[in-house]
Structure 1
Amino acid sequence: MNHVLCGLAANAALPSGLVDRLIAVADADIAADLAHRADLSHMQAVALASRVTESAVRLAYEGRLTAADVDPATQPHAALALLDKHSGRPEWARLLAADPVVDRRARLAACSGLPPDVVATLAADPDVRVVAELALWATPDMAAALVGHPHAEVRRAVAANEATPPAVLAALITGEGLPPARWCLVCDREETPFVHHPQCPRPDCDLLPGASCDGSHESTVHETQRMALGNPATPTEAVVSFVDHPSPLLRWALAARPDLPPEVLGRLAADPLPGVRADLAENPAIDDTLIRALAADRDHDVRRRLAHNPHVPLDVLTRLAGAAKIGSTLLPRIAVASPDEAKELAESPNPAARMLLAQRRDLPAEIRDALAADPDAKVVKSIAPHPGLSETRLRAMVDRHGAQVIAKVAANPDATSALLDDLTRHGPSIRKALREVARHRNATAPALLACLADKQARPIAAGHPALPPQVIAELLTDTDWQVAEAAAANPSLPLDVMSALVP
Structure 2
Amino acid sequence: MDHHLLCGLAANPALPPELVDRLISVADDDLADDLACRADLSRAQALALAERVEEGAVRLAYEGRLTAADIAPVAQPAAALALLGRGAGRPEWARLLAADPDHERREKLAACPGLPSDVVDTLAADPDVRVVAELALWTTTPDVTARLATHPHAEVRRAVAANEVTPPATLAALLTGASHPAARHCLVCDREEIPFVHDPQCSRPDCDLSAGASCDGSHESTAHRTQEAALRNPTTPVESVVAFADHPSMLLRWALATREDLPGDTYARLASDPTPGIRADIAENPAIDEALIRAMADDRDPAVRRALAHHPRAPLDVLTRLAATAKVGGTLLPRVADASPAEIEDLASSPDPAARRLVAHRRDLPPGIRDRLAGDPDAKVVKAVAPHPGLTEAQLRAMVDRHGVRVLAKVATNPDATPALLEELTRHEPPVRKAFREIARHRAAPPSALLACLKDSQAGPMAAAHPALPPPVITELLTDTDWQVAEAAASNPSLPLAVMSDLAWHRD
Give the TM-score category using the shorter length.
over 0.9
Count of residue pairs the alignment pairs up: 503
Q: CA deviation at 1:455?
A: 2.2
- State the alpha-carbon separation in 2 of the partners of residues 240 and 229 from structure 1: 9
Partner of 1:44: 45
Q: Which string of whole-angstrom CA distances, capped at 9 and with x for unpartnered residues, describes residues 95-119 of structure 1? A: 0000000000010000010111101
Number of the residue aligned with 2:29: 28
The one-letter amino acid of 1:302's match is: V
| Aligned counterparts, 1:40-439, within 5 A | 40-138=41-139, 139-439=141-441
Q: Deviations over 1:291-336 (max 9, x none)?
A: 1221111112111111111111111111111111111111111111
Distance in structure 2 (CA, Å) of the matches to 1:352 and 1:135: 49
Deviations 1:418-463 (A, max 9, x none): 2212222222323222221111111111221222222222211111
In the other structure, the counterpart of 2:7 is: 6
SS in 2 for 1:204: coil
Could you tell me how far apart the structure 2 residues matched to 1:457 and 1:231 are? 44
Partners of 1:423 and 1:275 in 2: how far apart?
A: 41
CA distance in 1, matches of 2:266, 2:188: 34
Alpha-carbon separation, structure 1, partners of 2:167 and 2:455 = 61
Partners of 1:27 and 1:130 lie apart in 2 by 30
Shift, 1:142, TM fit: 1.1
> 1:221 Cα deviation (Å)?
0.8
C-alpha displacement at 1:493, in angstroms? Answer: 0.6
Q: Could you tell me how far apart the structure 2 residues matched to 1:29 and 1:305 are?
A: 40
Q: Deviations over 1:219-277 (max 9, x none)?
A: 11110010010111111111001111111110111111111111111111121111111
Q: Which amino acid aligns with 2:367?
A: A
> SS at the partner of 2:435?
helix
Deviation track 1:372-425 (CA, whole Å, cap 9, x = no partner) reads 111011110010001111122111111111121111111001111222122222
Flag structure 2 segments of 5+ consecutive residues without an equivalent: none
Q: CA deviation at 1:207?
A: 0.8
In 2: Cα distance, 1:268 partner to 1:502 partner: 61
Compute the TM-score of the two structures, normalised by the length of structure 2. Answer: 0.97
Residue in 2 that maps onto 1:480: 482
Pick from 445, 462, 465: which aligns with 2:464?
462
Distance between the aligned counterparts of 1:352 and 1:276, measured in 2? 27
**Farther off after superposition, 14-23 or 272-281:** 272-281
Q: Which amino acid aligns with 1:461?
A: A
Residue identity over aligned pairs, in percent, reads 73
Tell me whether 143-152 or 451-460 shows the greater mean CA deviation: 451-460
1:323-362 per-residue CA deviation (whole Å, 9 max, x = no partner) reads 1111111111111111111111111111111111111111
C-alpha distance in 1 between matches for 2:404 and 2:492: 32
- Structure 1: 4+ residue segments shifted above 3 A: none
Give ranges in structure 1 of 5+ residues lacking alignment: none
CA distance in 1, matches of 2:432, 2:196: 58
Q: Secondary structure at the match of 1:54?
A: helix
Match of 1:489 among 485, 488, 491: 491
**SS, match of residue 501 in structure 1:** helix
1:143 alignment partner AA: T
Q: Distance in 1 between matches of 2:416 and 2:34?
A: 31
1-structure distance, mates of 2:88, 2:287: 41
Quick one: distance in 2 between partners of 1:438 and 1:302? 36
Q: Distance in 1 between matches of 2:187 and 2:432?
A: 55
Distance 2:286 2:475 in 1: 54
2:54 aligns to what SS in structure 1?
Answer: coil
Between 301-310 and 289-298, report the one with greater CA deviation: 289-298
Identify which range, 239-248 or 390-399, moves more after superposition: 390-399
Distance 1:127 1:160 in 2: 19
Q: Take 1:458 and 1:81, find their aligned partners in 2: how far apart are those partners?
A: 36
- SS of equivalent residue, structure 1 residue 59: helix
1:289 shift after superposition = 2.2
The one-letter amino acid paired with 1:285 is A
Distance 1:271 1:424 in 2: 49
Task: Write the distance in 1 (CA, Å) between the matches of 2:143 and 2:493.
Answer: 53
